[in-house]
Amino acid sequence: MNTINDKTNSEYYVDNATGAAGYSTTMDGLTVPLTCSVPVTPGQAVTVKIAVADTSDYRYDSAIALVDSGIWTD
Counting the structural domains of the chain, the total is 1
Torsion of the alpha carbons at 2, 28, 14 and 49, rounded to the nearest 10: 60
Is 2 among the domain residues? Answer: yes
Q: How far apart are CA 71 and CA 62, in angstroms?
A: 20
Instruction: Please report the pLDDT score of residue 9 as a whole number.
Output: 95
Instruction: Please report the pLDDT score of residue 8 as a whole number.
Output: 94
Is 74 among the domain residues? Answer: no
Is 10 among the domain residues? Answer: yes
Instruction: Please report the pLDDT score of residue 1 as a whole number.
Output: 77
Is 52 among the domain residues? Answer: yes
Q: What would the pLDDT profile of 6-62 be if each residue is shown by its tens digit?
A: 999 999 999 998 888 888 888 888 999 888 888 889 899 989 888 887 777 777 778
**Which structural domain, as residue segments, surrounds residue 55?**
1-69
Instruction: Please report the pLDDT score of residue 64 as a whole number.
Output: 85
Instruction: Please report the pLDDT score of residue 73 as a whole number.
Output: 74
